[in-house]
Amino acid sequence: MIRLENITKYYPSKLGKQYIFKDLSFDIPSGHNIGILGSNGAGKSTLFRLLAGSEYPNKGKIITDLSLSWPVALTTGIHQQMTGRENTRFIGRVNGIADLDEYERRVIKFAELGEKFDLPVKSYSSGMKPRLAFACSIGIDFDVYLIDEVTSVGDAKFRKKAKEALLERSEKANVIMVSHEMKEIRQFCDSAIVLHKGELTFYNDLEQGIERYQAL
Amino acid sequence: MTTVTKRGPWTIWKDVIFALFAREIRTGFNDKFGLSWAVVNPIVFIFVLSFIRGRLSGGETHTMPTFTFMAIGILFIQSFLQTMGSAARSINKNKSLFAFRQVQPISAVLACVLFELLVKIFVIMGVVLVMYFMNIEIQISDPLLLLSCFLLLWMLGVALGLLFGIAELFISEIGKIRGLITRPLFFISGVFFSLQDFPKEYWHFLDWNPILHAIELTRYSVYSTYGNEGVSLNYLSGIVLIITFFSLSVYQVSWKQAISR
């Protein structure tokens, strides 16, 4: 379970503080693959970054004993000038992987970049970068994977593979994902959190959540 | 299975700093010159300026060879300015990496300044090599003082860089101000002159500046005949201690909010 306690989060702007969340308390239940639904600017990515510890709330705290991945977006932490291999090792080191070589092999196998793995990332096609980013995160055993629209860029084959990898781990691991494509969400998730005007609502049944979201 | 090892906070720091350090080396110098440019560039700069000045003003300045006099000045001001500048820039530059909760701004700063320190050590070795081939006498009368001055100045650069780096996350214009106020330092820190060249009643315009103290003390540590009137190690270390303490306090209080904007 991930518990949000009295979270207040705002961004300063010319027009004063832009509140995303005001004194929000919420428990995100574990054991579910959750899709986060919300309109543009509702704060999906902010919620994500708060969960991952990439940003900190202005007030309140987030308590969990699960290990969460970083928010896996298209190119998080990937340097354009470095090769796929160097990027992989960097991410592995930062996350404290015990056996870097084994991790590298796992990423190679999953990302299927072939010899491009040893070329700078800037030479990758737009579909290959997220494949690397996703492979880097799935190569580490987290309890919860935070996925931000990564899977939607890949081709059908990659998507199938991503799904299988997550299913394979589904007894121990879960996914929380953001996507605007309902097809995506249906493929990976079984329940939903709808984010609207700084309030979170959990729907055990995904279809119910999507219905609510589309009615917004 | 690739398991994540449970690490203590120190091990996380060590791993992250090492990873960032490797990344810094790999990405900072991506052209054909590579890493060598970081060392060759300052050596050439120091050599040209010191050599010309040495030619212009004759062999000796306050009992030490003019080349050595100038080389120490330029080397020290450069190591201060570059350490501070790259420490300040490193925070903004690595901002995307703070997405990993293990990476904190101070790790980026530390990785970057350790790299600067390493480069400067190679630059010093290069300058000494040049002096050897030019048949300039190489002597150090107080190595310990030399080392403390160098490290204190480096620490001052780190502390101020950290302070500026954090401040620039809140107000990005501070970066421009930093560029503006660091430029005159080249001219008021005793790079081209000695404090002894000035009449005593004007010293108070200059001797507030800890960089001047570091440079003059280093010259004294190399040639004890140079004299150390008007400068003191206590003042230098006191200032460095205060600024470091202040900078770390500001960091501790504000880093979480600084990266959450």
Q: What is the pLDDT of residue B53?
A: 85
Q: What predicted TM-score, i.e. pTM, was given to this entire model?
A: 0.89
CB contact under 8 A, B4 and A97: yes
Q: Tell me the per-residue pLDDT of B191-202, one tens digit each, with 9 for 90 and over.
A: 988 988 889 999
Q: What is the mean pLDDT of residues B199-216?
A: 92
Nearest to residue B188, comparing CAs of B215, B225, B149? B215
**Burial label, A36 (beta-carbon count in 10 A; 0-12, 13-18, 19+):** buried
Query: Measured between CB atoms, does B204 come within 8 Å of chain A?
Result: no
In single-letter form, the type of residue at position B120 comes to K
Query: Measured between CB atoms, does A97 come within 8 Å of chain B?
Result: yes
Q: Tell me the per-residue pLDDT of A2-51, one tens digit each, with 9 for 90 and over.
A: 899 999 999 988 898 889 999 999 999 888 889 999 888 888 888 888 99
Query: Can you tell me the distance from the alpha carbon of A204 to that of A181, in angstroms, rounded to the nearest whole number?
Result: 19
B interface test, pick of A93, A99, A168 with most B CB neighbours within 10 Å: A93
**Residue A21: which H helix or E strand, with range?**
strand A18-28
Query: Can you tell me the distance from the alpha carbon of A149 to that of B201, in angstroms, rounded to the nearest whole number?
Result: 68
Q: Tell me the per-residue pLDDT of A172-186, one tens digit each, with 9 for 90 and over.
A: 888 898 888 888 888
Q: What is the mean pLDDT of residues B138-147?
A: 93
Is the pLDDT confidence value at A114 over 90? no
CB contact under 8 A, A79 and B7: no
B3 pLDDT band, cuts 50/70/90, is low
Q: Collect all residues of chain A within an 8 Å Cβ-Cβ radius of residue B22.
A: 90, 93
Query: Can you tell me the distance from the alpha carbon of A161 to that of A167, in angstroms, rounded to the nearest whole number?
Result: 10
Contact B21, A84 (CB under 8 A): no
Query: Can you tell me the distance from the alpha carbon of A10 to that of A20, in angstroms, rounded to the nearest whole number?
Result: 5
A interface test, pick of B2, B30, B171, B172 with most A CB neighbours within 10 Å: B2
Q: What is the pLDDT of residue B2?
A: 63
A159 pLDDT band, cuts 50/70/90, is confident
Q: Which two tokens stand for residue B213?
A: 């103290």
**For the residues of B86-136, what is the DSSP string, one character each?**
HHHHHHHHTGGGGGSTT--HHHHHHHHHHHHHHHHHHHHHHHHHHHHHTT-
CB contact under 8 A, A96 and B4: yes
Query: Measured between CB atoms, does B19 come within 8 Å of chain A?
Result: yes
Contact A20, A43 (CB under 8 A): yes
For residue A154, what is the DSSP state?
S
Is the pLDDT confidence value at B226 over 60? yes
Contact A184, A208 (CB under 8 A): no
